[in-house]
Every structure is written in C-alpha cells, then in structure tokens.
Structure 1
Amino acid sequence: MELIPESILLKYNLQKEAFIQQIGSGFINRTFLVYNPLYTENQFILQEVNSTVFKSPYDIANNVDLISKFLHHHYPNYLFPSFIPNIDGQLITEEDGIYWRMSHYIKESIAYNTLSNPNQAFQAAAQFGKLTRLLDKFPIDQLAYTIPDFHNLDFRLNQFKDACLKAQTNKIEDSIDTINLANNYEYISNYYNSYLKSPDFKNRAIHHDTKISNVLLNKHDDSGICVIDLDTLMPGKFTSDLGDMMRTYLCAFSENEADLSKINIRISYFESMIRGYLSETSQILTNTELELLLFSGKYIVYMQAIRFLTDHLNGDIYYKIEYPNQNLNRAKNQFKLLNELIKNEVLLQDIIDKAIKEYRK
C-alpha cells in the first residue's frame, strides 16, 4: 500500500524519493514524518485527515489559520504548529476525496503515550493552560465547530437513552448495573447546566483533546514545548480541557484496564496537573471557572463512561473492540474513576484551594 501518493508529495515540493515514516499513536488521522533525503534539516509532519470523523477539514484549517494569525500578531514568540500552504497556496490538499495537511516537524521533541512522572503532568497541563491564556481575548465567534456536540453531555445522554430503548434484551440484562449507575449520576449534567447561563462560565477557544500524546515535551528534560493535534480547537468550556486531563493523567491505567481494583487516582499527579494548569490560567479564569475546577473531571469522565456504554448497547459501532463486552468494561472503568474523584473530593479540593491561593497572590 502506498503510504503517501506521489502527487501529494509534489504538492508540497517533496520528491517522490522522500523519506517517509509513519509515526504517532493516534487512532483518527494517519501521521507521517517526511523529508527530502538531501535536505534532512527540513523535516515535516504530513497528515491524512479522517474525514469520516471530521466532516469539514477546511473548517479545521480555517480555525487553525485564524488562531495562528492572532497568536503571531499578539505573541510572536509563541510556538504554534500551524499548517504549511501547498504550492497552490492552500492549507488543505484534497485528492480523490482524501484530505492532507502539512506542518513543520519540531526537533528535539517527544510526545509520550503515557505519563511516567508528575513533572510531565505539570508540563503538559501548563502547555494546554498557556494556550487557553493566550487565546483569552480571541473572538471565538470566528471559529467553526469541527465536531458539533463533541462535549455536549445532554446530547450524549440522549444518545444513551435512545440506545437503551433500542438495545437487544441480552445487552440490557448484561449492562443493567452499569445502566443504573449512568442514571444515578445524571445529576452531573443538571449541575453543569445550572451554570450555562452564567456570564462567568465563558466560552473559550479550547483544545478539547488534552491527552498526553497531544503535547510536545523536550526529549532531554521534559520541559514543555507546545500543543499539537489541533483538529478539535474550537469554541468550548475550560472544563473540556482540564476534565480530559484528569481523565487521562490521574490513573496509571487507561480505560482498557478491566481490573477495577487498579483504577485509582495518583494524588501527586493530580497536584502537579492542577499546579501546571493554574500556573498559566489562574489570572484569566473567572471565579465561576475556579469553582468548577474539580467538577470538570467529573463531567468529562462521566461523559466518556456514557459514550462507552452507549456504544456497547448499540453493538460496538464506534469504538473498536478486541473482545466482547470491552466497551462495557471501559464504561465500568470510567465509572470507577468517577467514583474515585468523588471519594477523594475533600483532599483534591484542598489541593486546588492551596494552588489557587498560591498563584493568585
């Protein structure tokens, strides 16, 4: 199978003899390191955009371009991996219904798939927080929603309830305890909705996918460099970014771990993540947003549990599975993580309060 069509390489002035290596652990887009053999100092990232997930790749390119121009004007020294125009001056190259875009490869960088120490959590959270801070005054009405309703919990709950009505009887019977859990935690959605009309719960330009593999750290000392994978950079609430960090940074095991006894919160990672995030955002977050810091984790973890459970009830049509009931086990995993957040709430909130006090002096 041809990794990248020659015609695409030529659109970016890359020869057909270009060195091509598929990289990254992402499940959505295919990502390649590309460079001409005689000019290895100029290396690039070329991605094939998954247009099944991202219905309008041009919206992504436009969002990134608008934000890139804003950052270049206001913060010219900030490293933001914008897209490189092709030879026709276009940020997206389309051929036979397949979409491609290119950016510069950032040398001396590394993207981890898992966290191995609290400092990495601090550095990653600081980088995502920094982007939020720099975009505090960005006019978000200019941005398109690249995945509508991506973190809309009411939308996900409606999908879940519809799946319950249509699921096979055996699916319902096997899942009844987890379905009951989902219903018991529905107050999380009601609590979130009670804040939506507050002017202090701001819409911001938010990354929305803050797992550790979406931030580049220096491969020598793990210092933060920049965030990457900007497909979901669109309007949203800060809860999406911080909540997704909590979901993916705090436990040593991913949602694929079926042994629920292993699903616990690493307190030192939580403290480092909170301190990293607030080191950049404490001065721009509103009092309402500060009040919702810990809640953001509950919101995103609950939403992800609902999504896994819904997919199980629908017959595993969205998330790939390796064995029967894997999506059900993933949902149980996330409900256990949610329970750990609630069980440790007093301790975690105390950590947050101390960090706020320190950074808002």
Structure 2
Amino acid sequence: MLQSILKAYGLSAAQCKVRPFGSGLINHTWKVECPGGERDYILQQINQDVFTNPEDIALNLSALAAYLREHVPGYIFPEPLTTLDGNTIVRDEDGYFRLMPFIGPSVAYDVVTSPAKAYEAAKQFGRFTHLLEGFPAAELRITLAGFHDLSLRYQQFETALLQGDKDRIAASRDSIIRAQQFRGIVTTYEHIRVSQDFKLRVTHHDTKISNVLFDEKGKGLCVIDLDTVMPGYFISDLGDMLRTYLSPVTEEEADLSKIEIRDHYFTAIVDGYLSEMKHSLTQAELRHLVYAGKFMIYMQALRFLTDHLNNDRYYGARYEGHNLVRANNQLVLLEQLSAKEETFNNMIRKMLQLPV
C-alpha cells in the first residue's frame, strides 16, 4: 500500500524500513528509515472519518510554514515535505498521505510526570501561538467545525435530554443536574466570542503532553500533530493543558477519589504558558486563566454525558456506562477546580500585579 506513496517522494519502499510509530489514535503513523539517507521520516495517513477535507490541513500547514520561514527561520516546525511533483499531500485509493522529517533525537510522553514537564509543554504551546501572532488567524481553514464551540456542545447536550435514551436519561439524573449547574461557563464563553478583549489567534486545539517533543535533557523542542491548528481563543490551548495535566489520573479513571487538582502543576502550567504569552494576552484574557480550565473540562464533561445519553454513538464504550464514568470524572475535576478558583485567581493577580 505504501510503495506508491513513498515513490511519490522519490523513496523506495524496498530500500526503506517502514514500521508503525507512536501512540496516536486518529491518524495512522509510520516511521520510515532509509539506509544511507541523511534523515528519517514520519509518514501519516490522514483519518478522513475525522478530517473530512485533508486539503484544508495541507493549506494551513503550508501557509504557517511559509510565515515561520520568513519571520522565525530557526523555529522547528514539522512541515510536510513536497513530492517530486511539488505537492505536500498524496492521494491514492486508500486516502491521503503526507511525509514529514523525523525530528530527532527527541522523545514524547503520554503522561505528565512532573511539574517541569508541564512547564516545558506549556511553554512550547505558548511559544507556538506567540510566534504566529502576526499571522492572520482568520485566514486559516476550519479543519474540525465546532470543535471547541461550547455553545454548540451545550445545545447538543440539551438535544440529548429531549431525544436521547429515556432509560439512560432517568438513570443519569444526578449527573445531568450537576452539569446544568455549570451553565454559567457557557454564558461567559458567549461573551468572549463577541468581546474585542479576546483575540482570535492561531491555536493548536489539542495540547496534550504527547503533542510536544522534548530533547534528551527534558527541554521542549516543538509542538507536533498540527491538524487541529485553526483560529481560536487562548482558552482552548491553556484550558486543555489544565484539563489533562492537573490531575494525576486521566478521564478514564473510575475511582473518583483519585481525582485531585495539584497546585504545583497549576503553577507550572501558568508559568510556562505566560513565559511566552504574558505580553500577548490582554488584561481581560489574563483574568480568565482559571476560566480556561473550567471551559475545557466542562466541554469534555458535556461531550461524554451527551454521548452516554445518545447510546455511545460518538466515542463508543468499552463497557456499559463508560461515557457516564468519563463524564462524572470530568465533573469532579471541574468541581475541584472551581473550589480553588478564587485562590488561583488571587495568586495570578499577585504574580501579574493585576488590578482587582
């Protein structure tokens, strides 16, 4: 299957070693090692069930790469390579493929194991947005429509309450009530969308730790997996880091007593992100750093709960009630962050010398 793809880039499948690579769940990924070559490569097949218009991704990455080459030539950006015909994406009967240089020596992590790693990851995502501050974000193509639209997610939740599985709705009443109590997070988001104090920026939208490459000394090198890069608000990137780095357990944990907000991780994330973004964010944005975490945690709780009420049509389920467990996990995380919101906001105000 891959022979014709590699040939389009001037590589020989017979001479190169191709093996599955990484732990990503969306795209199929291989590492390509060619004996005698100056470098190794990463080959990916884009998942068209998720990204229905791969050409939009290619256009986005080409535009960002051109901007960075001109304005920040030393920045490591995993730009797709061009084929012998000058294209950055190849299509055959199996779908869309692209080839990128393998960035090494480097390492990626699936779990945040220290505040130092949280700091470095946050710094890299902040740097990515900061360096692209002069890029016209609104010109980027939307690769996942409504991906971080909290208003849309709440509407889908309300629709599920009307049209979802009646038995599951009745059995999930406590979780539904808890979710509804945080409706104010949606109201704040709707204010952000119309406020001139919140800037539309080049935003990664998927800031889990595995999307950062580190060097052998534990320092961040760059961000990867750029398919979700779109116009967005800073709350998406900072919020997803808070959602996925703060607790020692993931959204899959069914023992809710293990969920906790680790204060030193919160400090590391904020410090790392602001080391790059402090002077780019407006005063209003700086007052919504904790809100960013609430925004993303709440959205994921709604998505899991909605899917449970709709009989697991989107995420699927490995066991009965799987998505309800995930939703309750995120609701507990949201409740715990909300309980610390005033403390964290006071800490941020003192750190940044913001007016009360």
Deviations 1:42-83 (A, max 9, x none): 100111100111011110110111011111101111111111
Alpha-carbon distance in 1 for matches of 2:9, 2:353: 50
Is the Cα contact below 8 Å between 2:254 and 2:325 reproduced in 1? yes
Q: 1:97 Cα shift?
A: 4.9
Q: 1:162 Cα shift?
A: 1.1
Tell which deviates more after alignment, 7-16 or 63-72: 7-16
Alpha-carbon distance in 1 for matches of 2:310, 2:109: 32
Match of 2:207 among 191, 207, 210: 210
Q: Identity of paired residues, percent? A: 45
Is the Cα contact below 8 Å between 2:137 and 2:202 reproduced in 1? yes
Change (3 A) 1:141 1:346: closer
Secondary structure of the structure 1 residue equivalent to 2:155: helix
Structure 2: gaps of 5 or more residues: none
Structure 1: gaps of 5 or more residues: none
Q: Equivalent residue for 1:225?
A: 221
Residue identity opposite 2:139 in structure 1: Q
Match of 2:23 among 22, 25, 49: 25
Q: 1:355 Cα shift?
A: 3.8
Give the alignment's Cα RMSD to 1 decimal.
Answer: 1.3
Secondary structure of the structure 1 residue equivalent to 2:214: strand
Report 1:3-82 matches (<5 A): 4-17=1-14, 18-39=16-37, 41-82=38-79
Change (3 A) 1:68 1:329: same
Q: Equivalent residue for 2:171?
A: 174
Is the Cα contact below 8 Å between 2:157 and 2:302 reproduced in 1? yes
Secondary structure of the structure 1 residue equivalent to 2:193: coil
Report 1:212-291 matches (<5 A): 212-218=209-215, 220-291=216-287
Secondary structure of the structure 1 residue equivalent to 2:192: coil
TM-score by length of 1: 0.95
Is the Cα contact below 8 Å between 1:206 and 1:234 reproduced in 2? yes
Q: 1:357 Cα shift?
A: 4.2
Match of 1:314 among 304, 310, 324: 310
Alpha-carbon distance in 1 for matches of 2:352, 2:42: 38
Residue identity opposite 1:87 in structure 2: L
Is the Cα contact below 8 Å between 2:207 and 2:240 reproduced in 1? yes
Tell which deviates more after alignment, 15-24 or 208-217: 15-24
Q: 1:353 Cα shift?
A: 2.6
TM-score by length of 2: 0.96
Q: Equivalent residue for 1:326?
A: 322
Is the Cα contact below 8 Å between 1:278 and 1:356 reproduced in 2? no
Q: Equivalent residue for 2:135?
A: 138
Stretches (4+) displaced over 4 A: none
Alpha-carbon distance in 1 for matches of 2:247, 2:180: 24
